[in-house]
Structure 1
Amino acid sequence: MNLEELEPTKKPAPKKDLTVLSIDELRDYIATLRTEIERTEAAIAAKQAHRSGAEAFFKK
């Protein structure tokens, strides 16, 4: 069994209507998205480190 199969699956969030946002609101939205991307990448790195540690432990 693959560990990724145990991860919950989610449908993508509906796309935000960008046409109603001002330029400043769009810039703020981009900043929010970048922060969320960084947070997500950190979570991925932590999970990969955890997986690598577990794999190394069980391969001994």
Structure 2
Amino acid sequence: MDFDDAPPRPNDALADLVRQDLDRLSVAELEARIATLDAEIARCRTTIERAVNHRASADALFR
């Protein structure tokens, strides 16, 4: 498998997102982008909370 055939890593997508030229987007597109990013942040926070709670439950079980 060539390097170009490798699936993109999540950090690559984030790096691409940060490098995008925002000046070319309309206000509506920027607002939609913010809403999407807010939803993704909430999804990440939920996953973190679930992981922390799972870890706490496992720690309590093995005490």
Q: TM-score range by the shorter chain?
A: 0.7 to 0.9
Deviation digits for residues 15-55 of structure 1 (CA, Å, limit 9, x no counterpart): 12211101100000000000001100100010011000011
Q: Which residue of 2 aligns with 1:5?
A: none
Instruction: State the TM-score, normalized to the length of structure 2.
Output: 0.71
Q: Show structure 2 runs of 5+ residues with no match.
A: 1-9
Structure 1 match to 2:5 = none
- The structure that is helix-richer by fraction is 2
Paired position in structure 2 for 1:20: 24
Offset of residue 11 of structure 1: 3.5
TM-score of the superposition, structure 1-length normalised? 0.74
Q: State the percentage of identical aligned residues.
A: 38
Structure 1 residue ranges, 4+ long, deviating more than 2 angstroms after superposition:
none
